[in-house]
Amino acid sequence: MPIPTHVFGFPARPIRPIKESIIAHHRFGTVEVSVLRWERCDFIIEGLDPSDGWFISFRISSPEGSQDLLQFRSSLFSPRQIPDLKRSSSKISQGDGIAAPKWHKADRFWPIIGGKKAEFIGQFYYDTTVSYLFAFRSNKDSTYIAGKDDVSRQDAEDHYKDEENRA
């Protein structure tokens, strides 16, 4: 596994030998996703103060090969910096989690490159996080994009609804 070169969009380099730690593994047909956890103290991250904690990356394995997804100045994870990678700003309805993402109301998004929407592959969980895997397919290969959200988080609407129910 290549060592991450970017963390939260900032260039990163290891300061000691690093061993990857796979914390979750998921399969969607012929596509496999591994969630890797990296300790921040093992890296010098330009633009960020040293701190404890960790970050993740994703390894996608498919019949076409493998891709490691990192964050490049975006909340989305991709195999490289993609200048025209955007998040859809249009209204997106709630899905069922199988055919379409079932995500937190406040964080619905859909990756777009050059005006083309990605194909939804599936969603998966690790820790208290849900992640969404998308693909841009061409005749030659696929480019995978992932996004994530903390499932234990409440938006304001849910918070006030809970307060009303407790009253």
Which pLDDT score is estimated for 119? Answer: 92
pLDDT score of 107 more than 70:
no
Which pLDDT score is estimated for 163? Answer: 61
Mean pLDDT of 94-123: 82
The reported pTM is 0.82
Measure the CA–CA gap between 159 and 82, rounded to whole angstroms: 36
| DSSP per-residue codes, 11-39 | EEEESS----EEEEEEEETTEEEEEEEEE
Q: Which residues face 32 on adjacent strands? A: 27, 61
Measure the CA–CA gap between 137 and 15, rounded to whole angstroms: 36
Which pLDDT score is estimated for 74? Answer: 81
pLDDT digits (tens, 9 = 90+) for 8-51: 888 899 998 888 899 999 999 999 999 999 998 899 888 877 77
